[in-house]
Amino acid sequence: MRAGFAPKDIIFTPNGVSISEIIEAAELGVRINIDNLGILEQFASRFGDSYPVCIRLNPHINAGGNSKISVGHIDSKFGISIHQTRHLERLVKSLGVKVEGLHMHTGSDILDVEVFLRGAELLLDVARDFDSLRYIDFGSGFKVAYKPDDISTDVEELGEKMTAMFDAFCKEYGSDLQLEFEPGKFLVSESGYFLCEVNATKTTTATVFAQVNSGLNHLIRPMFYDAYHHITNVSNPNGKPRVYTVVGYICETDTFASDRLIAEIHEGDILAFHNAGAYCFTMSNNYNSRLRPAEVLVKNKEHFLITKREELDDLLKNCIDLEANITAP
């Protein structure tokens, strides 16, 4: 909202937060997406039918990549099970809840368009039981290319098939609903690069390490999701490729890449991690009291500082000086 977006254009999709936080969001006027029957009851007891909601469903489809980034399976904490729709319908009717939207998100790195479409069909089947819908949100998870020879989701094929499916549904439903997607990572992942400096190279009996001035505090995806980030030595792009294991400076096993072919690395070289436009800075932290780096926007060959580099005072600003605040009895 501070960035200028209208509340009606924002959908709040929390998981496991307190009802007070959801109420606060509702009081701001944003769209509310509920993924828990108990929370739905609490919300209805506060707002009744005066505040339309969206319902997030779990279609029990593993449409994404590895288990760490798949959220549509049967053991996922996200969404109301597709098998609970009868219970959902009874609650909606009994509590007088107005449902204006349905939502799903099955996970990231979707390759098989047909699997995504099966989830969409399930969501449309449920939609037939709600007569006041304004929109259906099919989430996202579209895959981008992480490696030079990698593949990505065929969004053109998906678009053609989804258009035909959704148009046919709207004709049957009797209303032109709004079709929504959330392709955040697909849009921004490849637009960001993370740059760090090589502090040292270290050869052991088994491995050649490139030790950089960063760690899981800045880019946690490789450790958290087993994510692959292509690495380019921008200081020596045409150097002879050698095998390196790139590691950070945190007192944990913060390995960015193992046994990776990278142009020969020397101390002081700058390494660029690709696909850092999503879930890089937003997941960074101050573990080991390390500071976060600056963010720079490059537009039309000009660069603009958009987030300044942290300083020690940024870490200490919320610490309480007990000596100054405790007075003698």
Residues carrying an active site annotation? 251
List the end-to-end C-alpha distance of the chain, in Å, as a whole number: 47
3-state helix, strand, coil in the chain (%, to 5): 30, 25, 45
Tokens matching residue 93: 């009717």
Kindly state the DSSP code that residue 107 receives in the 8-state scheme: B
- In this structure, the dihedral spanned by the alpha carbons of residues 167, 171, 177 and 182, taken in order and rounded to 10 degrees, is -20
Bridge partners (DSSP) listed for residue 257? 246
Tell me whether strands 178-180 and 135-137 are parallel, antiparallel or unpaired.
parallel
Give phi and psi for 252, each to the nearest 5. -145, 170
Kindly state the DSSP code that residue 84 receives in the 8-state scheme: G
Burial grade of 151 (CB within 10 A; 0-12, 13-18, 19 or more): exposed
- Going by C-alpha positions, the residue among 72, 139, 141 that lies closest to residue 111 is 141
Other beta carbons within 10 Å of 191: 12
Q: What DSSP assignment string belongs to 109-146? A: -B--HHHHHHHHHHHHHHHTT-SS--EEE----B----
